[in-house]
Chain A
Amino acid sequence: MTDAALPAAPITQAYELDSPARRARRRLFKRKAAVFGLVMITMFVGVALLAPLVVPYDPIATSWSLVRKPPTAAHWFGTDELGRDILSRVVYGARASLLAGLISVAIALGVGVPLGLLAGYRGGFVDALISRITDAMLACPFLILAIALAAFLGPSLGNAMIAIGISATPIFIRLTRGQVLVVKAEDYVEAARALGNPPWRIAFSHILPNILPALLVQATLSIAAAIIAEAALSFLGLGQQPPAPSWGSMLNAAQRFLTQAPWMAIWPGLAIFLVVLSLNLLGDGLRDALDPRQR
């Protein structure tokens, strides 16, 4: 149950037999904040998955007689500018946001980790080239990069994910590369090399497992950042297309009605805050739990 909620379930499974992993998990569960984060995330994921079953109304069903009504017993979060139920839209928005967070970080991991392994392990010109491009991408403001990419790909939720994923890639390249440089000098890697293992096998079966904890922590925090970025892009109109809800686009619509219907802005903002907070708590917990220096 809890394992399934972890953003990188297979990784924890691979660790099942190692005693450090079990120890880490035990340490994680000792931290109340991290457990709180984990529970919240599980809840959000559950609600997002079961959205059609839990929402009281169709999130895109308009009602001309219920335009911008404050919260009532029938509509707990009130209604929006087209008379749609905000609670239902926030729930469906969770799908968009969580999916955007997961997929964009998956893209960043999928591109960044192999490149980082390559740069760190091979060194030389390849390293210099990858490192300079990484520096160049890091030197451009993250959001500008994402905005430009999203504009290039055309506004849609899928394209926003790709744009955020690519913009988040350099962090993973740099992190992986740095970790590889540390691990590369360890005895067992030297030994594996002496035994004549091909470089790619050393990279994937000896180095990668050792840098996983650091990647896991960064991935959790990056999902949080990606969710904020998706909201920002949708807020600027470069994400989810109407009428499908996303927290960012709901905030965008809410901006015009700040005086008359402040509830339109409060709920989606609160939802972003809670998810991001939970991910940060979980990320912190993971960092502490996986830190070998801590007992």
Chain B
Amino acid sequence: MSIMRLTILASALLTSLVGAAQAQSTLRIGIAEDPDILDPSIGRTYVGRIVFSAFCDKLFDIDEKLNIVPQLALSHETSADGKEMTIKLRPNVKFHDGEPLDAEAAKFSIERHMTLPTSFRKSELASVDHVEVVDPLTIKLVLKTPYSPLIAQLTDRSGMMVSPKATKEAGDKFGLHPVCAGPYKFVERVQQDRMVFEKFADYWNKDNIHIDRVVFLPIVDATVRLANLKSGGLDLIERVLATDIKDVRADSRLVLSTAPELGYLGLTVNIGNDKAKGPLSQSAKVRQALDLSIDREALNQVVFNGEFTPGNQWVSPTHPYYQKAFPVRGRDIAKAKALLKEAGVTSPVTVDYMIPKGAENEAVAQVVQSMAAEAGFDIKIRAVEFATTFKQAQAGEFQVFQINWSGRIDPDGNSYIFMRSKAPQNDGGYANPEADKLMEDGRTTANVAERKAIYEKMTKILLDDLPIIYIYHRTLLIAHTTKLQGYKQMPDGLVRVVGLKFK
């Protein structure tokens, strides 16, 4: 019959439906989740930070090598005793509502981060005692104690400036209609659907803005995200699956941008809060055996096509603070078995292994399970809803907790809160006074060489104690069309829109 004709007709109809090309000069970015509220004080998701970078400039920024570079500030200077930081602001900067960004506004923004009751920036700025206005374009942060990671905090949400006028009017609803000093200004947001921003005419760096609009579209499924990029429905996507990279590289219309991430995937071992007092909590040897049973490179090959970086520390091997004296060790089943014997435990060692649900987490867990089984571990995987993991983690209801950390620019942000005794995210209840001391010293020391020396000592202790067994560091994978030019990926995973243009 005329099925052939019908098919042709149908396809023609469908393509004509899709074919309605949009006027270019809109940058459409596919992101992996729907962000939470767009208020830099209250925001707490990684994906939210990606959206912020389009409309909310910070005092400082980073470059590819993690150096601090000026953004809304021009320079910073820390006093000899480390207790005062003076920041010079960029002149003639305006917020989206036309208000000037001066020292008063900067002071207001930082104080808001510190005092808003539901602000998640409080702990990041806990070292700041108060903020002083020195002159209309200079502020001074007066610290309680020297705190070397502070400048790094100001390259992230804690360094974002908000319009005092708009903020006072909106209160804690500011995030529904944020007013910042970034390259684009907020137009509208439809929850779970899109966030629209348009070019801000009075942006301080407006000569480098070539695209009229930026639209963020949350698309959870990575395959679908890529399909949309290929079909021209999107111009740039974040978090491409490692297993899809071959596909992207093979497509001449697509470009892949990569950078090593700041975070890690680790196995937090419950040492101090394990009610069952399992062998892992009782003996470092058992933890070392688990560590030695894992073939990180093979895991990387199987689950991520070898695109990620195997790791053993809280920063990746490419990070300036990585301790090269302690490289990733290879798999050694014989030694793992010997260690278990030394520890006097009978195999199989049963392990309650908690993971947040999700196909990728489950794949990693199953590989670890399968590898560890050969050394004598019987891992029982418990995939829990994301909403429950943190509660159970805090309550110590796990023996191993496999969890990602998105990473911070300063190494302190990857270590202190997880391993300092009694720190809020130290779910495993690890407590070692020696390590605690070194973590504190690392925070107060500004000199890089001295700091590295402190972290070297710390690394030795932590690699013996193994409160967290680090497995790998992801590679940030961003794909965009060849039409989009000027894109550069930084290690913090944010998508920077300044300087981008369409061919």
CA of A278 to CA of B367, assembled, Å:
36
Q: Are the C-beta atoms of A82 and B223 separated by less than 8 Å?
A: no
B68 at the binding interface (Cβ < 8 Å): no
Q: Which residue in A81, A241, A260 is a CB contact (below 8 Å) of B363?
A: A81
Size band of the A side of the interface? 20 to 34
Q: Are the C-beta atoms of A253 and B243 separated by less than 8 Å?
A: no
A242 at the binding interface (Cβ < 8 Å): yes
Chain A residues positioned under 8 Å from B222 (CB to CB): 256
Q: Are the C-beta atoms of A241 and B381 separated by less than 8 Å?
A: yes
Question: Interface on chain B toward A: helix, strand, loop, or mixed SS?
Answer: helix
Q: Are the C-beta atoms of A62 and B366 separated by less than 8 Å?
A: yes
The chain B residue sitting closest to A84, CB to CB, is B366
Q: Are the C-beta atoms of A155 and B359 separated by less than 8 Å?
A: no
B369 at the binding interface (Cβ < 8 Å): yes
- Given A151-B385, A155-B383, A238-B385, answer yes or no on A256-B247 (Cβ-Cβ < 8 Å): no
Chain A residues positioned under 8 Å from B382 (CB to CB): 241
Q: Which residue in B358, B366, B384 is a CB contact (below 8 Å) of A82?
A: B366
Q: Are the C-beta atoms of A260 and B247 separated by less than 8 Å?
A: yes
Q: Are the C-beta atoms of A243 and B366 separated by less than 8 Å?
A: yes
- Given A64-B302, A253-B359, answer yes or no on A259-B223 (Cβ-Cβ < 8 Å): yes
B127 at the binding interface (Cβ < 8 Å): no
The chain B residue sitting closest to A254, CB to CB, is B359
B301 at the binding interface (Cβ < 8 Å): yes
CA of A238 to CA of B388, assembled, Å:
12
Size band of the B side of the interface? 20 to 34
Question: Which residues in chain A, 224-256, are within 8 Å of chain B measured between CB atoms?
Answer: 237-238, 241-243, 252-253, 255-256
A257 at the binding interface (Cβ < 8 Å): yes
Q: Which residue in A83, A151, A257 is a CB contact (below 8 Å) of B243?
A: A257
Q: Are the C-beta atoms of B223 and A252 separated by less than 8 Å?
A: no
Q: Which residue in A67, A151, A242, A255 is a CB contact (below 8 Å) of B365?
A: A242
Chain A residues positioned under 8 Å from B387 (CB to CB): 151
Question: Which residues in chain A, 55-87, are within 8 Å of chain B measured between CB atoms?
Answer: 62, 64, 67, 81-83
A258 at the binding interface (Cβ < 8 Å): yes
B135 at the binding interface (Cβ < 8 Å): no
Q: Taking the nearest CB of chain B, how far is it from the CB of A271, in angstroms?
A: 19
Q: Are the C-beta atoms of A241 and B247 separated by less than 8 Å?
A: no
- Given A243-B366, A253-B363, A260-B243, answer yes or no on A82-B385 (Cβ-Cβ < 8 Å): no
- Given A151-B385, A155-B357, A253-B362, answer yes or no on A81-B303 (Cβ-Cβ < 8 Å): yes
B221 at the binding interface (Cβ < 8 Å): yes
Chain A residues positioned under 8 Å from B360 (CB to CB): 256
The chain B residue sitting closest to A65, CB to CB, is B302
Q: Are the C-beta atoms of A259 and B247 separated by less than 8 Å?
A: yes
Chain A residues positioned under 8 Å from B132 (CB to CB): none
Q: Which residue in A83, A155, A243 is a CB contact (below 8 Å) of B384?
A: A155
The chain B residue sitting closest to A240, CB to CB, is B383
Chain A residues positioned under 8 Å from B381 (CB to CB): 241-243
- Given A64-B298, A81-B363, A155-B385, answer yes or no on A258-B223 (Cβ-Cβ < 8 Å): yes
CA of A154 to CA of B363, assembled, Å:
20
Chain A residues positioned under 8 Å from B383 (CB to CB): 155, 237, 241-242
Chain B residues positioned under 8 Å from A155 (CB to CB): 357, 383-385
Interface 1/0s, chain B 244-266, versus A by CB < 8 A?
10010000000000000000000
Q: Are the C-beta atoms of B370 and A62 separated by less than 8 Å?
A: yes
Q: List 13 A-B contacts (CB under 8 A).
A: A62-B370, A154-B384, A154-B388, A155-B383, A155-B385, A237-B358, A237-B385, A242-B366, A243-B381, A253-B359, A253-B362, A259-B227, A259-B244
Known pairs A67-B302, A243-B381. 5 more at Cβ < 8 A? A155-B383, A242-B365, A253-B363, A260-B243, A260-B244
Chain A residues with CB under 8 Å of chain B are 62, 64, 67, 81-83, 151, 154-155, 237-238, 241-243, 252-253, 255-260
